[in-house]
Structures are given as structure tokens and as C-alpha cells.
């Protein structure tokens, strides 16, 4: 057990290594791992993160690779990640429980080590090609990041649902300028980027787009033609500080996703800034926008356009504090700690 508090287990967090910890820009899984480690240490938990040498955290860092693998050839990443997993599990003798945040594959090795493991899949069970693994390992300890995530593979042994959390101290409160709509996230169809553009065009409210292009062909063919730098602006992949600064002047974040998204950290960015969210009635959005002060859930573009006036009436402080209760990194860490104690 950890020395900081009696009955607190020593926790090892097996992190993804594609991006840095914390990520410089994009890297949602890495960001969740970072926030969890920081908040657990604040609670007095002895935490080790298995990441890369470049990781910056108050937790203890163990590594085999010096740098994240985002710039490595794609064909090499699988081997480098597998070596990272094996190295981490060999070094895990000093912890009481392993929290796996690196997809299903580390669970395959759980029986080979004398440590209990819980796994947060971060929505990865949507990958059909890995479902043989899930079926084989379905009785292991899993945590869902939303109740919606469980629909990807309902038969897994889910111990609990623990919502992702962010550091609310990193965000400033909404300015009240209401200058534009905002879209943040991967610039792909399922994230609702084309819907956000359509809402902007129908309301004549400017739209600022910020995000990473993961499908260049889709972006060039369907998004770029609408970017006129007047009504529609695309600023690309932004550093977190710049992203939060832009959010503070926004009327609302538009998040009409077109798939059963298990979670959306961009939703938390907005709510933590006091910016309401226009969300679709799909995936985890109704779970995240659980109070009318946080925005509205709509079924289509026309409903969003018709109800746009509601966005001017939301109280930023009420929105922010309502979100803090469920989505702060402190709340996430406390809930995970309760699950660690159950397993240990």
C-alpha cells in the first residue's frame, strides 16, 4: 500500500505513447491519463505513469522510449507500443494495481503478472477487428467513460462508469461577447463539422473551426470550399491556451455528432469555460449536457437554428459549476480511487 494515506494502493497508469503526456495539442487519451495522475497525486496516492521520458507530471515516470511515437512511421508504431507495454508490466512490481488506458491488448498479459488490472477503453470497443479479444477477455475489469460506451460491447464486465475529467483551473470564464459559433475536434464527417457549417450559414452567425485534419481528402473536398475567412474561418490545430482563449468569446460550441460517440473532451473544454453546447441526441451527448444551463440537445439542423436564441440566455457561471461537479479531474480521480480500492 502507498505511504501517503493508509489503505491507498500504489497505482500504475499504463499510458498511450503516441503523443506526449500532457499532449502539446491533440492527444485525448494522453490528456485523460495526465489529468488522472495529477489529481490522484493531489489525493495522496502513490502514482507511477508508464509513458515516455518526455512526460511531464508530478507522478513518478517509468519509460523505455525517450519520445512519443507520433512522428514514427505508422508501420513501426505497433511494435514500439507492444514493447512499451511489455516493459511497463515488467516494471509494475512496485505498484498494487495497474490502470490500463492503452486499449485491449495489455489485458492479454494480465494473467502473466501478479497484479490486478482495470482497463478504461476510451471508446476503443467500437473497433470490430478487435472483438475476438473482447470476447476472450470479457470477464476482466473494465471501466466505461460513459454509459453510451457500453453499447459497443455490452457483455464486458463493467465495474463502473467514470466520466473523463479536466483541470478547471486551466480555463477562464466566458467573456459574454458571443461573437461566433465554435467547432473543435477532428475535422471529419462523424464529428459534425459539415452540420456546424450549415448552421452557421443558415443563422449567419460566424463559425470558427479549430481541429486536426485526419482525412485530408474529406477536408479538401467538403470543408475547405466553405472556408471564406469571413463567415467561416478554419484556424487548424491549436495549442490548448489559444483554443481556450477563443472559446471564451464564443456564443456556443456546435457538436452535432453523427455517430454514437462515447465521449467528447471538446464538450468539457466548452463547459469548463461556461460556453453552452449545441449537441445532437446521439452517443454520450445527452449524458454530458445533462442540464439545460449547459446548452441544448437537438435532433437536426433546423431545430438548432430555430432554438439558437436560447444560447444567449445561458449563465456561464451556472454552466461551468454544473459541469465541474461531474467532469473535474478531481471528481474523476476520486471515482477511480474508489474502484481501485474495490479491486485491490
Strands 60-63 and 250-255: unpaired
Measured in whole angstroms, the distance separating CA 226 from the mean position of its chain's CA atoms is 28
DSSP classification of residue 3: S
* Contact of 98 with 89, CB cutoff 8 Å: yes
CATH code that applies to domain 11-165+328-343: 3.40.50.2000
What distance in Å separates the CA atoms of residue 122 and residue 70, rounded to the nearest whole number? Answer: 19
Q: Do domains 11-165+328-343 and 168-326 have the same CATH topology?
A: yes
pLDDT in tens for each of the 344 residues of the chain? 444 455 899 999 999 999 999 998 889 999 999 999 999 999 999 999 999 999 999 999 999 999 999 999 988 999 999 999 999 999 999 999 999 999 999 999 988 899 999 999 999 999 999 999 999 999 999 999 999 999 999 999 999 999 999 999 999 999 999 999 999 999 999 999 999 999 999 999 999 999 999 899 999 999 999 999 999 999 998 988 999 999 999 999 999 999 999 999 999 999 999 999 999 999 999 999 999 999 999 999 999 999 999 999 999 999 999 999 999 999 999 999 999 999 99
Separation CA 77–CA 79 (nearest Å): 6
The angle at the Cα of 137, spanning 133 to 141, to the nearest 5 degrees, equals: 130
Domain boundaries along the sequence of the chain: 11-165+328-343, 168-326
pTM over 0.85: yes
Nearest to 316 by CA among 166, 183, 169, 173: 173
Superfamily the domain 168-326 falls into:
Glycogen Phosphorylase B; (3.40.50.2000)
Q: How many helices (H) and strands (E) does the chain have?
A: 11, 13
Amino acid at each position: 500500500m502507498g505511504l501517503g494515506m493508509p489503505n491507498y494502493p500504489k497505482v500504475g497508469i499504463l499510458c498511450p505513447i503516441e503523443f506526449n503526456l500532457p499532449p502539446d495539442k491533440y492527444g485525448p487519451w494522453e490528456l485523460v491519463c495526465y489529468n488522472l495522475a495529477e489529481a490522484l497525486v493531489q489525493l495522496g496516492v502513490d502514482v507511477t505513469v508508464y509513458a515516455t521520458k518526455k512526460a511531464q507530471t508530478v507522478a513518478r515516470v517509468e519509460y523505455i522510449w525517450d519520445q512519443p511515437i507520433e512522428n514514427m512511421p505508422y508501420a513501426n508504431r505497433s511494435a514500439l507500443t507492444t514493447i512499451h507495454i511489455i516493459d511497463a508490466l515488467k516494471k509494475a512490481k512496485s505498484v498494487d494495481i495497474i490502470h490500463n488506458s492503452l486499449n485491449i491488448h495489455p489485458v492479454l498479459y494480465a494473467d502473466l503478472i501478479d497484479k490486478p488490472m482495470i482497463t478504461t477503453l476510451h471508446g476503443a470497443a467500437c473497433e470490430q477487428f478487435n472483438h475476438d479479444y473482447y470476447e476472450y477477455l470479457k470477464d476482466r475489469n473494465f471501466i466505461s467513460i460513459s454509459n453510451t460506451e457500453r453499447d459497443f460491447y455490452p457483455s464486458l464486465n463493467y465495474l463502473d462508469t467514470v466520466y473523463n475529467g479536466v483541470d478547471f483551473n486551466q480555463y477562464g470564464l466566458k467573456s459574454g461577447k458571443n461573437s461566433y459559433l465554435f467547432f473543435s475536434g477532428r475535422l471529419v464527417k462523424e464529428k459534425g463539422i459539415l452540420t456546424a457549417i450549415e448552421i452557421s450559414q443558415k443563422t449567419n452567425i460566424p463559425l470558427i473551426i479549430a481541429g486536426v485534419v485526419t482525412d485530408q481528402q474529406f477536408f479538401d473536398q467538403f470543408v475547405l470550399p466553405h472556408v471564406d475567412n469571413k463567415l467561416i474561418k478554419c484556424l487548424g490545430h491549436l495549442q490548448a491556451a489559444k483554443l481556450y482563449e477563443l472559446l471564451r468569446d464564443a456564443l456556443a460550441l456546435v457538436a452535432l455528432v453523427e455517430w454514437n460517440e462515447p465521449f467528447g473532451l471538446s464538450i468539457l473544454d466548452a463547459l469548463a469555460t461556461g460556453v453552452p453546447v449545441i449537441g445532437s441526441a446521439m452517443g454520450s451527448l445527452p449524458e454530458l449536457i445533462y442540464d439545460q444551463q449547459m446548452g441544448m440537445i437537438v435532433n437536426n439542423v433546423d431545430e438548432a437554428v430555430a432554438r439558437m436564441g436560447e444560447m444567449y440566455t445561458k449563465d456561464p457561471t451556472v454552466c461551468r459549476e454544473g459541469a465541474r461537479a461531474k467532469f473535474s479531474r478531481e471528481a474523476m480521480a476520486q471515482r477511480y480511487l474508489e474502484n481501485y480500492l474495490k479491486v485491490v
